[in-house]
Amino acid sequence: MPDEPAPAAPEPAPPRRPRRPAARSVRPTDIAAVVRVLSALQVHLLSGDLPPQLTSSLGRHLVTAGLLEAGATPADVLLALDDLAARLRSGGEAPEVSGETRHLVGFVTREQADAFAAGAARRAGDEVTGPVAAEEGRWVDEVQWQVTVRVTEPPMSPAFDARIAGLHALADGLHGHLGGWEA
């Protein structure tokens, strides 16, 4: 038999990404990031931007985690997300239930924040706190000032939707950034 050439060496395996340690502690910045994601989901759910399939999927995951009862409405999903964010912010303590919501709006300049606070205070039923220096870790971009507006209408009711639409319009007119809400 003639000499056969030696078989070619197999291609080397692509380099593997180094494995991260399996057990890592959760950093405060991790919790802050998750809270911001939950706040963004809440804002989009409130404004009707989330497709019904995504809202249903969120609800199913919350049911599986034991944070929500089966058959929950989008308003229940919204409140469950807020409760979860509040527990994360408070280190696991159960959040207080007040029957009201507080909406946070951030601004780059004090003048924008003052104008928003004055406009929101003129509206019947809106209790306004601030402007105050922006809470560290809550905001993205260059937000330096935040205003909190207390709303007493039940979430996702027509009166609530109208109140929030007015706040959004006022904030948008002053280049405000919605920072989520708390129950």
119 vs 13, more confident: 119
Nearest Cα to Cα of residue 135 among 96, 177, 100: 177
Dist. CA 93–CA 183, nearest whole Å: 14
Comparing 32-36, 115-119, 121-125, which segment has the lowest mean pLDDT? 121-125
What does DSSP say about strands 127-133 and 145-151: parallel, antiparallel, or unpaired? antiparallel
Mean pLDDT of the region 106-111: 93
pTM confidence score: 0.53
> What is the pLDDT of the chain when averaged over all its residues?
80
Confidence grade of residue 125 (pLDDT, cut at 50, 70, 90): low
Whether the per-residue pLDDT at 28 is higher than 90: the answer is no
Whether the per-residue pLDDT at 179 is higher than 70: the answer is yes
Whether the per-residue pLDDT at 98 is higher than 90: the answer is no
